[in-house]
Structure 1
């Protein structure tokens, strides 16, 4: 089937490119832009106390089930200054007057007043405001001389609760609030906005840096501009399609704000890798003397099979996250799996068409073309550094066009629009040098290549290599045993953002726990004034220790009582988690009534506990699946066992790294993380699922060559050395690209993406170096022919999965 698909794509190349993939990108992007996206994060899970609290607030309709936010302000003349109080009170009234119409359009007080009375009655109130100047907000001000206030000024905040609506509407509400705040002009008054509602989720330029790194690496690996451009172009087109599809999917699934970024991270990595494998095999068959169409068919029928198998494995691993039973996690899984699927399809349809366009020119590169690539890379890098990417890429494009015109001796006459090519005799100085092809690389015999000699070096010392490699992985994994799952708070946002400044003002005046209040609710029918008073007394005993402020219980609805508790520690601190568990397990049960602890902070704690309990199920499912797939592919028992164990060590090393950096703070400031905090609760499960899938990619590509040589020669030692020599350069280039793509996300502002990107980068790096280049040849040598042993009865009942086709009988060297 792949052979027929390759021939169709090759022969109908322009149809495949301009009638299928280009329109697909344009149409899906236009539809996604017109329909809009709805990225939102939902950490609540069934049967948790935080969910019960949210449901109780929703049932009485008091608005407390929404997103918490704050308007924080401080004035040099004091917050009780009449001018300050009048200005801020007017702002709070305007914010409280914001309304939504039936289409979720945001209307200000003036716009509402212009509507007829019947239309005003149909509007909904999306924002609840508790002013620090009101009776309910009396504790929302800290004077400059308060013991907890280290700012030297009065600090006050209005507590907002924003209704849970789609992300776009939430952002419009936040923008409307900040626009109203811009009209507050009182000398000495500073106004900041806190809470997730006011966070700006912008797509960082990290992907651009990853692509630039991939360009450089592929140029070094291939020595050809066209060979470099094919994987980049294929992955870029696939990324456009995947991003649009994920955006559309967000309308029906709970995909978090960083979902498209994570999908781009995964998609770019696997997309470039898959195309790299196929392009390498294509060039390999061209060097054997085959014509472009035959070489394309051979590449798809060999490496294309491995790409499909690897892609399906990654998708199965990701979709296995549905085991977790959480819409938020399922949304991330769908986003990542969508990116992998699109990249896989692009590699086996779009890429063969592009190979048909370039033909034998894939190995030819002129000095001018190499210069053009250098210009693009430098302009892109400069644009990212100074945050003027569009301008620098425009300048780069102009320089590229001028270089190409100069290279091919083109004269352009603007008057009369005459364009003609200059003759060789009147060519521009140096143009002939620019058109000169770079010398093509000559391939060494396999036994003279570095990786062949490296494999022999390891094989002659298998035990020391095995002990050293395993020791490195175990040492890296040690911090894993101290992992703490949770969620970072706004204290980890960049210092120049209003969200971070609001967080710091509250933390420095009220205490950090005020940024993450806990909401206590009781709907117990047996609740009485006495039992409510007992809860008040129990909470009061903790004030000054683990609780900074605890409001008295009040009846917020028929039979519904509510308290607000502000911890003394930050939302992300372990002590806050301890307080939540202490309240639930010890303090509140003593009152004699059922009281639930909820709110955004408690919801994150519940989510983390839920993930910790379900993670073993995910790990078990992925391990079993990986073992069975490898056993079917390689007809072996020991090879899958080794793969599972070594993949576990790779993931453990990545976990240990993120714990050391993000939880313990080792070197965190180097990547822009100011405060140590918990490991994002969703990251270990996502990292585990993805890394196992990606590890299978390298596993199949490396071991299939080893198995091929073993079947041909029957000599395990030779098979290991030849297999590594044939694949190591491609695996190394692919791994470096992935590491660059993933590491580039550490340059963004979002801590979650930093953690996940660096975790992925470390996992891929360790897997491609310590595991593939040290532990695999060492263990293969130690086990010898036993590597390929399988009981006959098991061999008969297992289905056959062939990742290599008949073209492998040529046994070519790696390009």
Structure 2
């Protein structure tokens, strides 16, 4: 069909929408084929997972890689049983019963003689689970049953079992149950909120369906990406979290704008083009900004963060692709049937927005007072951030009601060297000999003279090739690690190359890696977000305002985390125990995720405000109109995000609770105090200064925000013309 006279619709989103509208069947079937194909290929090729050595840093990472390559015989999974005297009763009979029961239990081997604690109140019996240590959790249940039976016979004593196999089973079972519940609840909850928002079943189903398909497709693509960056198992959960949130948001923005334009009198095709030119444009700009923020994780050079970055980038990119292609095709095919199956009492043709408009009039009438109150509220919420501390993830981050947590705490108090050992890795062409023997002897002497900072026994394990030795020593606490590394090991091993690893060392090196990467990550995310906003809105003030407002919401979220998880508020409600710090990776991860997700709202609202400004409205009126018309959809999108993120607070790990609470609190604050009060108040005070751009930046490209001009018949799909 030849073009007729008239202005051609421009813009990536509009062109994609027009193409999809003209080729509906191809766009829809192509999307389905894409999702199915990558899912099938994922099942065929599988996903490469990062090993423990891939995730290490510093000396501990080097040591772990040396040990992994040294060919040590695989050790069976170790378990331990603590028998503790808490009421002045005798432990001897219980110890005998535990030992006898374990020796008769299936898959239990190497039952050792009991070791007494220094205070004489506890005994520790160690043993192993036969077979592959990776699958030992499948065979540990008989030993757990045997120990539980002895505990029932000796109620006046505490008898508990802990270890790698029992920990994997009990914690894994609890986490799997929580994730299953999360998966079962997140989609119905999201659908329920959208049913209330749209009041129509078909309109509510579209965002959920497309978000799920985008997540599935991204997980399929992860199989190929894992060849370049091996993934960690928690990446898929983060992808579900982000994918469901942004997927529903993007579709919600697009559908609501299309329906609003249709109700304003536009014909179906015109309404679709306007939605593509406005909300569609906001989607790809927002998606690009989120992707840029997620790319900041690569600067950590950490396998877990890199995996999270790859996964979230894939899911956001896939969601944007679906929102700009298959969604317009579906809306074009459905037409007004998108409002089919209306729900009585919920469906309404147009939201009058009286509440939001009335609130906005109040804010814009007194912008200075509104801004001061908003900043004061955010400052109060963010104040606890001054006391923010971080800690490594540990067994204490599980609910205290779990038997494995109680056992580990008891062992840690009575036998600290069993729960926080350090391994000194020595590599040499011929490690056996007098040099190593003398070094180990000096180490034993240092342990004996350490006043309990280090504990024995000092054990030595040498690989079959005789090239690597692992010398184990107990640490009374993590604080002893620095002394071990800085003075004890150099003095004992001299010129023998020795690296310290173990849980405490791994955590210390991980923290050092995060600290070193923090300035790079923050600088990259803030700098690129500023540039994207600058180019999109051609305003230095808008770009600076966007960055500052997002930083305020992040600071408030940090303050909420400290208030809840360090100060111990809502412990019973959330089923956790307060600790002396937030999980060490949480602040950086939350910053990246929140900064990316906050741009959803910011770009969407600013685009609508800029539309009004480009039509000649005064800034204050453009702000009132832009925020007033987007308040409803942003409220719905925020409720979806808060609900999905809040579900993560039901998982057993303290880190997942922190993630859920931090994200939910930040999104809630962002959609209320930030977007409904502070943003309009600041923009009203600045007036035309909002759009200030230095002359030397005049070369930046012009990006139109106003609705597109009327399209000609040449721009319409043939089937649409047939209906007109």
TM-score interval for Structure 1 and Structure 2 normalised by the shorter chain: 0.7 to 0.9
Equivalent in the alignment of 1:283: 259
Change in 2 beyond 3 A, CA 1:47/1:701? closer
Q: For 2:204 and 2:709, locate their aligned partners in 1 and report how far apart those are by CA, in whole Å.
A: 24
Equivalent in the alignment of 1:355: 331
2:605 equivalent to 1:702: yes
Q: For 1:147 and 1:44, locate their aligned partners in 2 and report how far apart those are by CA, in whole Å.
A: 40
Equivalent in the alignment of 2:472: 564
1:550 Cα deviation (Å)?
Answer: 2.6
Q: For 2:505 and 2:225, locate their aligned partners in 1 and report how far apart those are by CA, in whole Å.
A: 28
SS in 1 for 2:458: coil
1:559 Cα deviation (Å)?
Answer: 6.7
Superposition CA RMSD, Å: 3.4
Residues 555-604 of structure 1 deviation map (CA, whole Å, 9 limit, x = unaligned) = 635475543233345xxxxxx2x222232234434446264321133212
1:266 Cα deviation (Å)?
Answer: 0.3
Equivalent in the alignment of 1:51: 61
**Contact 1:720 / 1:780 at 8 angstroms: preserved in 2?**
yes
Equivalent in the alignment of 1:806: 708
Residues 749-795 of structure 1 deviation map (CA, whole Å, 9 limit, x = unaligned) = 23322222221112211211111111111111221211111112212
1:33 Cα deviation (Å)?
Answer: 4.0
Equivalent in the alignment of 2:103: 86
Equivalent in the alignment of 1:680: 583
2:621 equivalent to 1:713: no
2:554 equivalent to 1:660: no
Change in 2 beyond 3 A, CA 1:37/1:158? farther
Q: Which of 504, 507, 515 is matched with 1:612 structurally? A: 515
1:187 Cα deviation (Å)?
Answer: 5.8
Equivalent in the alignment of 2:126: 157
1:479 Cα deviation (Å)?
Answer: 2.5
Q: For 1:529 and 1:715, locate their aligned partners in 2 and report how far apart those are by CA, in whole Å.
A: 83
Change in 2 beyond 3 A, CA 1:178/1:783? same
Q: For 2:634 and 2:357, locate their aligned partners in 1 and report how far apart those are by CA, in whole Å.
A: 14
2:71 equivalent to 1:71: no
Residues 690-740 of structure 1 deviation map (CA, whole Å, 9 limit, x = unaligned) = 222222221111112222222323522212211211111111211111111
Equivalent in the alignment of 1:305: 281
2:628 equivalent to 1:732: no
Equivalent in the alignment of 1:583: 484
Q: For 2:398 and 2:224, locate their aligned partners in 1 and report how far apart those are by CA, in whole Å.
A: 28
SS in 1 for 2:697: helix
Change in 2 beyond 3 A, CA 1:498/1:349? farther
Q: Which of 452, 463, 480 is matched with 2:357 structurally? A: 452
1:197 Cα deviation (Å)?
Answer: 4.8
1:116-127 alignment to 2 at 5 Å? none
Q: For 2:629 and 2:148, locate their aligned partners in 1 and report how far apart those are by CA, in whole Å.
A: 71
TM-score by length of 1: 0.74
Change in 2 beyond 3 A, CA 1:668/1:342? farther
Equivalent in the alignment of 2:446: 538
Q: Which of 554, 569, 574 is matched with 2:460 structurally? A: 554
Q: For 1:232 and 1:653, locate their aligned partners in 2 and report how far apart those are by CA, in whole Å.
A: 30
Equivalent in the alignment of 2:680: 777
SS in 2 for 1:542: coil
SS in 1 for 2:449: helix
Change in 2 beyond 3 A, CA 1:51/1:248? same
1:488 Cα deviation (Å)?
Answer: 1.8
Q: For 1:36 and 1:184, locate their aligned partners in 2 and report how far apart those are by CA, in whole Å.
A: 38
2:661 equivalent to 1:644: no
SS in 2 for 1:629: helix
SS in 1 for 2:180: coil
Residues 45-104 of structure 1 deviation map (CA, whole Å, 9 limit, x = unaligned) = 67612123223433543358x8x953234688444457336336x7344xxxxxxxxxxx
**Contact 1:71 / 1:192 at 8 angstroms: preserved in 2?**
yes
Equivalent in the alignment of 1:188: 150
Q: For 1:132 and 1:540, locate their aligned partners in 2 and report how far apart those are by CA, in whole Å.
A: 27
Equivalent in the alignment of 1:429: none
Change in 2 beyond 3 A, CA 1:710/1:23? closer
Q: For 1:527 and 1:469, locate their aligned partners in 2 and report how far apart those are by CA, in whole Å.
A: 67
Residues 2-35 of structure 1 deviation map (CA, whole Å, 9 limit, x = unaligned) = 3343234334434433x33334444444443455
**Contact 1:53 / 1:599 at 8 angstroms: preserved in 2?**
no
1:673 Cα deviation (Å)?
Answer: 1.7
Equivalent in the alignment of 2:72: 62
Q: For 2:22 and 2:668, locate their aligned partners in 1 and report how far apart those are by CA, in whole Å.
A: 38
1:260-409 alignment to 2 at 5 Å? 260-366=236-342, 370=343
- Aligned residue-pair number: 669
Residues 215-252 of structure 1 deviation map (CA, whole Å, 9 limit, x = unaligned) = 23323322222222221222122222223333564566
Q: For 2:704 and 2:457, locate their aligned partners in 1 and report how far apart those are by CA, in whole Å.
A: 67
Q: For 1:181 and 1:16, locate their aligned partners in 2 and report how far apart those are by CA, in whole Å.
A: 57
Q: For 2:218 and 2:103, locate their aligned partners in 1 and report how far apart those are by CA, in whole Å.
A: 50
**Contact 2:249 / 2:637 at 8 angstroms: preserved in 1?**
yes
2:82 equivalent to 1:178: no
* Stretch moving more, 653-662 or 313-322: 653-662
**Contact 2:397 / 2:655 at 8 angstroms: preserved in 1?**
no
Change in 2 beyond 3 A, CA 1:496/1:439? closer
Task: Give the unaligned 5+ runs of structure 1.
Answer: 94-130, 164-169, 371-436, 570-575, 810-815
Task: Give the unaligned 5+ runs of structure 2.
Answer: 1-11, 84-90, 152-158, 712-724
TM-score by length of 2: 0.83
**Contact 1:148 / 1:510 at 8 angstroms: preserved in 2?**
no
**Contact 2:263 / 2:350 at 8 angstroms: preserved in 1?**
no
2:219 equivalent to 1:243: yes
**Contact 1:219 / 1:225 at 8 angstroms: preserved in 2?**
yes
Q: For 2:639 and 2:346, locate their aligned partners in 1 and report how far apart those are by CA, in whole Å.
A: 25
